[in-house]
Chain A
């Protein structure tokens, strides 16, 4: 009931799946087995409360509605006892132990399960503690591990152990993990993962601690700025569950004359109230934004522990995320149209095995770009190259795509006689001009000998920088329209983050040369040098008989 996984029957411990059984056991560094450990006894309390929380409201309602009759009272007591028993069972049955190269977690009372996680498959160990856990000095340890291919992912959870012990477990798991990985790397005579010179194992360097001023940037963070509306919507939904809308509707209709009277006689007062409400929302928006931002990002710190970057944040629930350097293949710099005039940006890591989880890959909150870049230079590797602008044809394409679709829709709306809609769409089309121009200005790609960087977007702009060694392939896509302009969209595929990063509307021939410069071994066998004028660059890479015959007929 503890570890979130399929219960796996314990076959007398004989045939535990060992996915990496091929590696000779004797050659591995010797790692002693540690003593078997249990969850904290306080787990009994936290488990009961955690489970009880969801049952709390219905039970209270039943108590009041049932006028505390003995059946309901007895039932409540029974539920309470069951909750405590569940906690005791969890405490009693869950054990974990580090044995040599694996972490074993045993759980279950009747159907016992035993799970072994090979330490070298561990991708991250995260320690989180919610407010409830912190009251009792506990923390939850989550272990992310690769399962099967790198696409699969499994997660084990120890809920909960004492904070100090959790920290200790994390350090120990990661220490053993890195020992195993280094050993394997040395065995295979591979170049070590390209990170900077490794400092002493235990060294802890703090790169960033959130200054006070940074909390105010919440005002420029759209997600947080819109929280009051989200809160209002949530409240509305909450009350909606208790209030019958039809009854209110009927009441309003019944009182229509009175209401109309108020509206006509006290229109001044009504207007004043309306203005007041709008003003209150306008004041509340930035205030709410800053407060919720503080709760989320409280004392955001970024530091290095051994061979990993660790971020910590949160006021009530403290999140701690460990990202190993071995899994970090690059970083993304995000900014939006609103943030750009203030030169702000947000940093996140491109990490294997996190998928699209944006909150866990965050390295820095929104802050001044110069400061962010300074920290990139310290903690990661800065991009030294220049971004090359894309050809002029890319600008026409950006403009076309920003302006023409709303224009067409406006035409349709006008044809249908919806003139208001048509007008709105026309305005959108006009705004598309600066938007398209800005999108074109954002486009760029570059290579500094070690890292590839691509940038795109306008309302939300992203610059992704990826290590050369992390690029696991290339893909070009070319539509008919791109072919006529000699353009293509080049994707550098990466086994981390979103899986690939696009250079949109690059010159096809130039981008092939670019990819060749980055990964010569990949491209070299497939290149055909051709003395070509500017006119011939138009994407006809085949140069063979029938390949293009159909192309003209499109």
Chain B
């Protein structure tokens, strides 16, 4: 039995994106662990009666577990995400695949593009990377390509905007 399948998009993002994601995840993880540690500390000092004793006694396991998870995720997720993350722009379609544990495939026809944005956050600037945001009339149909080298992102967004202008129909 022959079935058709989606092949992955052709291009990968910049390998520097791995480090960008590592730093982003590290910040995010630090904030989460900090928040949970605070909560654990509150539980430990207040020792509310409505919480069972076995939980209160072992409350410090929670931040430790979360910290371990964060570290493992920090090592695994960016690399894994880099392997999954692909993009491709053909004459008519922008095709992306992203995610790590869960994955998303997205097809956006260039005729339906409304705006093409090129953005660069402060962290991205540190790594000389940029994001291309593609918006259609539908919020769910809008897409982003993250972790492109700055120059490439700029070129791509200009190219897409120009082509969308040529092909543009009603866009809804």
Binding site for B on A (CB under 8 A): 149-151, 188, 190, 327, 329, 352, 415-417, 470, 472-480, 483, 491, 493-496, 498-500, 508-510, 512-513, 516, 521-523, 525-534, 537, 541-544, 546-547, 549-550, 554
Q: A150-B172, A478-B103, A523-B107 are in contact. Are A495 and B7 (CB under 8 A)?
A: no
Enumerate B142-172 residues with CB–CB distance to A below 8 Å: 169-172
The 4 closest A-B pairs by CB, nearest first: A495-B137, A493-B141, A500-B140, A495-B172
- The CA of A508 and the CA of B104, in the complex, are separated in Å by 12
- Chain B interface residue count, Cβ-Cβ cutoff 8 angstroms: 44
- The CA of A470 and the CA of B172, in the complex, are separated in Å by 7
A474 and chain B: residue at smallest CB distance? B107
The answer to whether B2 touches A532 (Cβ under 8 A) is yes
A510 and chain B: residue at smallest CB distance? B3
In angstroms, how far is the closest chain A Cβ from the Cβ of B31? 25
Q: Which of B1, B83, B104 contacts A532 (CB 8 A)?
A: B1
Which residues from chain A contact B76 at a C-beta distance below 8 Å? 550
Which residues from chain A contact B136 at a C-beta distance below 8 Å? 472-473, 493, 495
A-B contact count (CB 8 A): 167
B108 and chain A: residue at smallest CB distance? A473
Q: Is B11 an interface residue (CB 8 A)?
A: no
Chain B 72-91 near chain A by CB (<8 Å), digits 1 or 0: 00001001100110001010
- The CA of A494 and the CA of B138, in the complex, are separated in Å by 6
In angstroms, how far is the closest chain B Cβ from the Cβ of A544? 6
Q: A541-B7, A547-B83 are in contact. Are A472 and B105 (CB under 8 A)?
A: no
In angstroms, how far is the closest chain B Cβ from the Cβ of A426? 20
Which residues from chain A contact B93 at a C-beta distance below 8 Å? 522, 525-526
Q: Which of B83, B103, B107, B139 contacts A526 (CB 8 A)?
A: B107
Q: Is B114 an interface residue (CB 8 A)?
A: yes
Which residues from chain A contact B172 at a C-beta distance below 8 Å? 150, 327, 329, 352, 470, 472, 495-496
The answer to whether A151 touches B114 (Cβ under 8 A) is yes
Q: A495-B171, A550-B83 are in contact. Are A475 and B105 (CB under 8 A)?
A: yes
Q: Is B4 an interface residue (CB 8 A)?
A: yes
In angstroms, how far is the closest chain B Cβ from the Cβ of A22? 10
The answer to whether A541 touches B140 (Cβ under 8 A) is no
Q: Which of A190, A477, A500, A547 contacts B138 (CB 8 A)?
A: A500
In angstroms, how far is the closest chain B Cβ from the Cβ of A87? 40
